[in-house]
């Protein structure tokens, strides 16, 4: 064995002895990932589908003369994973368009070219309200009345098909450049806001941001809350905090959340800490990891807790309203645009630092809080109907022209 091989073997034994087989397996996997160039698999956009706003000339058909005649609408999205929150919101809009009498077609865009039939099975099982035909974007985009891009790679795909005669819209759920460090993906994601697609944002935070930075006017599809699932069921005494611990989703602030919870535990050792979202997460303090759980199970967990740590850095998430509806006080990261999308007197806005977040959690469990009944009564009672009406009306206005 070479000197290099000897040193690596010694290092592997040391990791196995000091940190256990899980840490060793992680190191081996990382080495294989690097040597095989597996990072290529993470690319969400094919090179041939990159569009450029400079000199972009999109084929745009004339307005449809007869308002009220059914449309055929294409929706572009990445293949969903089980329970994907972003897809759930998008598919609510697809279902609303179908209920309004329009025909919808889902086009799945996957640079890896996975089998669309496998994804269709998941969609039919996980989102039974969606009746749309499901196609692979690799088969080409038909000349439909309108297309709705739902993420920055699909916006590039739609812009790159500039000769396609269709009306183009963009359903925006996050400020997606922030999904990436400064670099190519950041710039390409930012470029999509210059394509000239008609924009629909989920919540006012993104609409304000796009107006200020890109002079883009967007229709606002206001957040809804599933109050049939998330509601107060236990008004009794509570304790503990809950955190959505999603390690692989950078915008959810995983490492920052753990640092804040470790500091919180140092101050409040009797308070139980609950994690959910990823069963593989290990933390350096006592906590109960519930892994991936159903919405009903999550609502039951919320009804046991006093406070919830909910971090989101690209848009306000659904979690704060769901916590409030269950009588839990959310602690979330301060953001110059976020307050407009989450107006509630019980939300605790905190500096996004370990001590800033731990201070806010500590104040709540130390007694600076309203009762669960008062907190639950304050939640926005808006269902998703408002967002669905706005989305469908915006698509119709784009194809027919503004309503009289």
Q: What is the pLDDT confidence band of residue 38, given thresholds at 50, 70 and 90?
A: very low
pLDDT above 70 covers a percentage of the chain that reads 91
N-term to C-term CA, the chain: 81
User: Which comes out higher in pLDDT, residue 26 or 356?
Assistant: 356
Tokens matching residue 356: 């800033």
What is the spatial distance between Cα 88 and Cα 295, in angstroms, rounded to a whole number?
A: 12
β-strand partners of 75: 106, 148
pLDDT at residue 264, as a whole number:
98
Residue 32 reports pLDDT greater than 80: no
pLDDT above 90 covers a percentage of the chain that reads 78
User: Which comes out higher in pLDDT, residue 10 or 248?
Assistant: 248
What confidence tens digit (pLDDT) does each residue in 178-191 have?
999 999 999 999 99
pLDDT at residue 248, as a whole number:
85
Residue 39 reports pLDDT greater than 50: no
pLDDT at residue 40, as a whole number:
47
Q: Which structural domains are found in the chain, ordered by start?
A: 47-222+385-400 (3.40.50.11090), 241-377 (3.40.50.2000)
pLDDT at residue 31, as a whole number:
60
SS3 content of the chain, % helix, strand, coil (to 5): 45, 15, 45
What is the spatial distance between Cα 203 and Cα 224, in angstroms, rounded to a whole number?
A: 9
92 with 98: CB under 8 angstroms? no
Tokens matching residue 24: 């060793």
Q: What is the pLDDT confidence band of residue 29, given thresholds at 50, 70 and 90?
A: low
Name 81's Cβ contacts closer than 8 Å, sequence gap at least 6.
87
Q: What is the pLDDT confidence band of residue 4, given thresholds at 50, 70 and 90?
A: low
pLDDT at residue 41, as a whole number:
45
Angle between helices 354-365 and 254-267 (to 10 degrees): 50
pLDDT at residue 83, as a whole number:
82
**203 φ/ψ sector (left φ>0, alpha ψ -120 to 50, else beta):** left
Residue 177 gets which letter from DSSP?
A: G
Name 272's Cβ contacts closer than 8 Å, sequence gap at least 6.
239, 240, 241, 286, 287, 288
Name 46's Cβ contacts closer than 8 Å, sequence gap at least 6.
111
Residue 27 reports pLDDT greater than 70: no
CA atoms within 13 A on the CB side of 316: 32
In whole numbers, what is the pLDDT of the chain averaged over residues?
91
Which of 40-54, 117-131, 346-360 comes out lowest in average pLDDT?
Answer: 40-54
What confidence tens digit (pLDDT) does each residue in 51-107 have?
999 999 999 999 988 888 999 999 999 999 888 889 999 999 999 999 999 999 999
What confidence tens digit (pLDDT) does each residue in 199-236 have?
999 999 999 999 999 999 999 999 988 899 999 999 98
What confidence tens digit (pLDDT) does each residue in 243-301 have?
999 888 889 999 999 999 999 999 999 999 999 999 999 999 999 999 999 999 999 99
Q: What is the pLDDT confidence band of residue 26, given thresholds at 50, 70 and 90?
A: low
What does R_g of the chain's alpha carbons equal in angstroms?
23
What is the spatial distance between Cα 31 and Cα 86, in angstroms, rounded to a whole number?
A: 32
């Amino acid at each position: 064995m070479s000197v290099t091989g000897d040193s690596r073997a010694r290092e592997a034994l040391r990791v196995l002895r000091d940190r256990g087989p899980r840490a060793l397996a992680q190191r081996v996997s990382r080495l294989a990932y690097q040597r095989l160039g597996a990072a290529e698999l993470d690319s969400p956009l094919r090179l041939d589908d990159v569009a450029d706003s400079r000199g972009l000339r999109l084929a745009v058909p004339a307005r449809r003369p007869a308002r009220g005649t059914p449309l055929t609408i294409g929706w572009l999205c990445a293949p969903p994973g089980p329970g994907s929150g972003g897809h759930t919101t998008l598919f609510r809009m697809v279902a609303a368009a179908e209920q309004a009498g329009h025909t919808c077609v889902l086009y799945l865009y996957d640079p890896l070219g996975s089998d669309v039939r496998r994804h269709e099975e998941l969609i039919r099982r996980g989102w039974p309200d969606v009746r749309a035909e499901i196609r692979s974007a690799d088969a080409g985009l038909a000349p439909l009345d309108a297309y709705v891009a739902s993420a920055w790679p699909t916006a590039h795909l739609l812009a790159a098909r500039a000769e396609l005669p269709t009306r183009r819209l963009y359903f925006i759920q996050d400020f997606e450049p922030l999904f990436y460090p400064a670099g190519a993906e950041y710039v390409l994601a930012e470029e999509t806001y210059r394509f000239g697609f008609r924009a629909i944002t989920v919540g006012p935070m993104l609409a304000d941001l796009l107006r200020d930075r890109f002079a883009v006017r967007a229709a606002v599809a206001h957040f809804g809350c599933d109050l049939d699932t998330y509601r107060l069921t236990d008004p009794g005494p509570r304790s503990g905090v809950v955190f959505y611990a999603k390690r692989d989703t950078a915008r959810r602030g995983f490492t920052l959340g753990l640092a804040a919870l470790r500091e919180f535990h140092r101050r409040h050792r009797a308070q139980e800490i609950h994690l959910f979202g990823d069963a593989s997460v290990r933390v350096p303090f006592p906590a109960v990891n519930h892994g991936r759980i159903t919405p009903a199970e999550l609502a039951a967990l919320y009804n046991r807790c006093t406070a919830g740590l909910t971090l989101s850095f690209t848009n306000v998430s659904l979690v704060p309203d769901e916590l409030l509806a269950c009588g839990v006080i959310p602690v979330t990261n301060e953001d110059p645009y976020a307050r407009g999308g989450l107006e509630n007197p019980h939300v605790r806005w905190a500096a996004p630092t370990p001590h800033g977040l731990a201070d806010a959690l500590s104040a709540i469990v130390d007694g600076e809080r309203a009762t669960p009944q008062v907190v639950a009564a304050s939640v926005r009672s808006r269902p998703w109907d408002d967002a669905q009406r706005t989305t469908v009306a915006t698509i119709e206005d784009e194809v027919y022209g503004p309503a009289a």
